[in-house]
Amino acid sequence: MAHRNNNSQTNNNNDVAKDPPENSEATEEENSKKKEQEELPPFEVVEGSRIPASSFMFQFKNVEYSSGRNKTLLCYTIERGEGQVFRGYLEDEHVSAHAEDAFFSNVLPQFLSSGAVSVTCYVSSSPCVNCAACIARCLRKNKTINLRLVVARIFQWEESEIRSALRGICSSGCKLRMMKSADYLHVWKNFVEPDVVLNEEGESEQTSEQGAFIPWEDLEENARYYEEKLAEIIR
């Protein structure tokens, strides 16, 4: 499965600082890289209304061993009682922030001031332990949220902590299920935009990924596989 790095940059106060060896270019380079990592923004998530088609096809593909798919894309629909509908998507920009945390901590609370809301999130993979805890807290605090979480892949489902976290969000009221062909088609129609490609004259032209959604060969087979795994976890 794709590994989403949940580690944040922290300083260990018990570590004793040591002077680097004299004339050590390798050590200076390591220190420079470390400083650059520490200066990365602690929280930065890309937000928009439409996902590039190629990004959707890669990140949402429901393969079992998802090499290279190390970011999370989350498409959301928020429906208010008065008939208002809001859509958008988030994606991880740095490993210290996850799209689910951003949505349930920063985005969704803006829509909770006027009664009950129905929320549907289509996510490229199921939440990590920390994001699952964030979702559960949000649902416990706001009893007026009706949440459906529809995921393409299950993140590290072999880990006992992950399995427990998924059971936790279900017990908090989240309706969790796997994406099927109809869900992919829905997301394609409502959240995906054509990739911008320029020809030699600098004019935009269509690519093969701009038309109707074309499912990959084993989409439904993989969906059934994940459905069985999810049923094992939350039963």
For the annotated catalytic residues, the residue numbers are 100
CB distance 170 to 127 below 8 Å: no
Q: What is the CA radius of gyration of the chain?
A: 20
Beta sheet of 145-151, edge-to-edge order: 45-48, 85-92, 73-80, 117-123, 145-151, 175-178
Which residues neighbour 171 within 8 Å (Cβ) at sequence distance 6 or greater? none
